[in-house]
Copies of this chain bind each other. A is one copy, B any other.
Amino acid sequence: MPPEPLTPERILEATEDVLRRYGPAKATVVDVARALGVSHGSVYRHFGSKAALREAVTQRWLDLSHAELSAVAGAEGPAGPRLRAWLAALFAAKRRKAGDDPELFATYMVLVGENSATVDRHIETMIGQLAQIVESGIRSGEFAEPVSGAAATARALWDATNRFHDPAYAADWSLPGIDAAFDAVCDLLLRGLQG
């Protein structure tokens, strides 16, 4: 049986396994190569450095929920419920990541701290999706013209909901009442958009 070809995706999966097993402080490219049964040179042909590999695995983790959210942002129908669905899907995805595998989540918190440019790009993508919903609501007349403009308002929506997506608040996500708190923030923001 011929060996599976060495793809970036296989390397990233192996990297995640190695990070989970050895922790972010100890995991090396040699560990990743060993887990794949290849030389570390083969890994370096896809990712030029340990830093590049760690950045790519962070990016992949941050992007995990992008596709789903992007579909919600671009869906048909009224903008208000779509915005609420988008924020709820983001919150649910973050909670799943934090709750299902807390050790891996802690590992990624270390990586996120190392790769702030990757995180900034991720946040820009998220805010871009919010802007898409805000603009469609303004076009349809469902939302009033925002006081601060659509782009600043999308950023404001991101900022105003960070208790429900910023990993700094992960400990809050299992509190009783957190869903009611999320609903209260959404209620206020949606009214603010309707103007």
Binding site for B on A (CB under 8 A): 144, 146-148, 152-153, 155-157, 159-163, 166, 168, 180-181, 183-185, 187-193, 195
Contact = CB atoms under 8 A, between A and B. Distances in A.
Nearest to A156: B184
A181 B168 contact: no
A159 B189 CA distance: 12
Contact of A162 (B156, B162, B187): B162
Given A148-B183, A152-B180, A188-B192, 4 more contacts: A146-B187, A152-B184, A166-B168, A192-B193
8 contacts: A147-B184, A148-B180, A152-B180, A153-B184, A155-B181, A162-B163, A188-B189, A189-B189
A-B interface, 7 closest residue pairs, ranked by CB to CB distance from nearest:
A192-B192, A160-B160, A156-B184, A147-B187, A148-B184, A188-B192, A191-B192
